[in-house]
Structure 1
Amino acid sequence: MARNVLGGELQSCSTDPMTGFTRNGCCETDAQDVGVHTVCTRVTAEFLAFSAGAGNDLSTPRPEYGFAGLQPGDQWCLCADRWVEAHAAGAAPPVVLEATHARTLEWVDLADLREHAVDPR
């Protein structure tokens, strides 16, 4: 059973839009997930602009990949290193701790995640 950063059972991040490295709604990870998509975020317009500027446009629909594009307020499993970059730039999106995989703590201090914590939906 996968664990979250609080030590409990990993909760679902989002099924609408469907997220997660394996697209099962959870921020689970495995050896094939080189991006480490473990941080359950609630994206903001500021973060989406930051991400696009960093070369990862998450707002534009990509129907060829079954991706409708994210809107502010959507929950999404974000790469741990991208969250760290956004945090350093002052653009980190809020985090749902219960749905953020424990492996995130290899990149991010729990205190930083708690500063950006929001209640699960």
Structure 2
Amino acid sequence: MANPSARPQPKNVLGKPLIGCCTDPLTGFYRDGFCRTGAGDVGVHTVCAEMTEDFLAFSRSRGNDLTTPVPEYEFPGLQAGDRWCLCAARWKEAYDAGMAPRVLLAACHISSLEFATLEELSEHAIEE
């Protein structure tokens, strides 16, 4: 009999086990380095993206300043080159506007596919 307390391994958009996105800065809704989601994550922070100046400016123009630290939420403020678990809807909005940052597919949770297609994400894939 399976252990009822064992949680299934989250899958990425490629259908394989989810890998970590970033630990410096420590990202993820659960601040564990993984772009996984669950109850309470209304933003669905599932896309592992590498920040660019253009995307950070785009996000700020949409009312979400990702560059200013917010210590009470353990948010360090981001700069170009940082990897971060983005809200899937924000990534798709940036994609539609031609401003999407690159993504690490193996670190993007499968639920990202509810917002963007694998083809859209793959267009911006980081080669690793």
- TM-score scaled by structure 2? 0.90
Q: Which runs of 5+ in 2 are unaligned?
A: 1-8
> Which secondary structure does the structure 1 equivalent of 2:49 belong to?
strand
Structure 2 equivalent of residue 86 of structure 1: 94
Calculate the aligned-residue CA RMSD, in Å: 1.0
Structure 1 equivalent of residue 45 of structure 2: 37
C-alpha separation between the residues in 2 aligned to 1:66 and 1:20?
11
Are residues 1:113 and 2:121 paired?
Answer: yes
Pairing partner for 1:19 from 27, 40, 49? 27
Provide, for residues 45-80 of structure 1, a one-character-per-residue CA deviation record: whole Å limited to 9, x for no partner: 000000001000001122343322101010000001
Matched-pair identity in %: 58
Structure 2 equivalent of residue 51 of structure 1: 59
1:41 offset after TM fit, Å? 0.2
Q: Which runs of 5+ in 1 are unaligned?
A: none
Amino acid across the alignment from 2:43: G
- Equivalenced residues, count: 120
- TM-score scaled by structure 1? 0.95
C-alpha separation between the residues in 2 aligned to 1:66 and 1:2?
24
